[in-house]
Structure 1
Amino acid sequence: MLLLRTGRFNFSRCYAAGAEFLKDVPLTKRDNEIVKVDDLKNKAIILYFSSGWCGHCRLFTPKLKKWYDEAAKDENIEIVWVSRDREAKHQIDYYNRALPNVPYIPFGDKHISEFLKKYDVKTIPAARLVNNNGEVIDQEVRNKVQVRYCFNSSRVSSSEM
């Protein structure tokens, strides 16, 4: 139920914002800050699946970061990053270099493979807007962000990649 509105999505239509489905999932932010599910209460949640080894991810992540930095000012949203990196060091390096300070599931956690299956993630990058129960509300988040920065004069410059 994301709608394009003046270059951003309208999250007011995301009626069941929250993260109850994440209550047993360990979430971390920069500097090993632990994220509690209550910190995500009343927020629209986007699950973002990507990795540092993926060329398409390295091209898309700066666009998502720019969109998030703009949208988070006006909307109560949060991205939860689900990494497909093959080593913990690679996950942390890519996170620190490319992603905004959003919660992520630590390398090797069982929920990563569970989420890949549950959300039918066959290729990356992928992004899903989910409700409080973890049900997909919008599977087209990636495409909408991509369109925003492919056909808009405020595109992400190559120096931001």
Structure 2
Amino acid sequence: MLLLRTGRFNFSRCYAAGAEFLKNVPLTKRDGEIVKVDDLKNKAIILYFSSGWCGHCRLFTPKLKKWYDEAAKHENIELVWVSRDREAKHQIDYYNKALPNVPYIPFGDRHILEFLTKYDVKTIPAARLVNNNGEVIDQEVRNKVQVHYCFNSFRISSSQMLFFLIKEQNIFHNANFSIRMRVKWTPES
């Protein structure tokens, strides 16, 4: 399970790391290197579904890249990119521009559609932590990376963020709202 702890993610040992389910899937890296399943042995695998034409993906991918670059220093982790781009050129352009040097499934491979179905990916970007058999361990990876990015962007601790959220909830709970041309917020005395 993917957890947020002291500003870093910590992978518990409740899953079998590895990528046996990827043994028949062609994986390539930026330099054209073919990735073998043995290269992914004992690594936690995160499948990342995105594309260059997707605005939300273009906003989220830099956050994921920053998180991955940091997490990969401390954890035995690998990100595998599953592209939803509509042309091979667009896939490669987006990969070279936005993603870290991680394995990806080449454009047009049948496994892309199989993974979209198997992992119930309805919208992108999406990220799934999977075990050695390809079973989903955590499907909230995207949300957790967003939260991690938010904490680190503002340089606040999780306890400070919790205090802020509680304070904000109490303010809005006790607030009067009147609608004119725009929302006017007036706290009660």
**Deviations 1:13-69 (CA, angstroms, capped at 9, x unpaired):** 353000000000000001211000000000000000000000000000000000000
**Pair 151,159 (structure 1): closer, same or farther in 2 beyond 3 Å:** closer
**Pair 159,121 (structure 1): closer, same or farther in 2 beyond 3 Å:** farther
**Pair 73,87 (structure 1): closer, same or farther in 2 beyond 3 Å:** same
CA apart distance, 1:148: 1.2
CA apart distance, 1:6: 1.4
Q: Tell me the SS of whatever aligns to 2:47.
A: strand
Q: Tell me the SS of whatever aligns to 2:63.
A: helix
Is the CA contact 1:2–1:13 (under 8 Å) kept in the aligned structure 2? no
Aligned residues: 161
**Pair 30,10 (structure 1): closer, same or farther in 2 beyond 3 Å:** same
Between the two structures, name the one with larger relative contact order (CA 8 Å, sep ≥ 6). Answer: 1
Gaps of at least 5 residues in structure 1 are none
**Pair 158,14 (structure 1): closer, same or farther in 2 beyond 3 Å:** closer
Q: Tell me the SS of whatever aligns to 1:27.
A: coil
Is the CA contact 2:47–2:81 (under 8 Å) kept in the aligned structure 1? yes
CA apart distance, 1:143: 0.1
The TM-score with structure 1 as length reference comes to: 0.93
Is the CA contact 1:62–1:156 (under 8 Å) kept in the aligned structure 2? no
The TM-score with structure 2 as length reference comes to: 0.80
**Pair 159,25 (structure 1): closer, same or farther in 2 beyond 3 Å:** farther
Gaps of at least 5 residues in structure 2 are 162-189
**Pair 150,114 (structure 1): closer, same or farther in 2 beyond 3 Å:** same
Is the CA contact 1:2–1:14 (under 8 Å) kept in the aligned structure 2? no
Structure 2: how far apart are the matches of 1:109 and 1:125?
19
Computing the radius of gyration from Cα coordinates, the structure with the larger value is 2
Structure 2: how far apart are the matches of 1:26 and 1:160?
45
CA apart distance, 1:157: 19
Q: Percent identity?
A: 93
Structure 2: how far apart are the matches of 1:75 and 1:101?
16
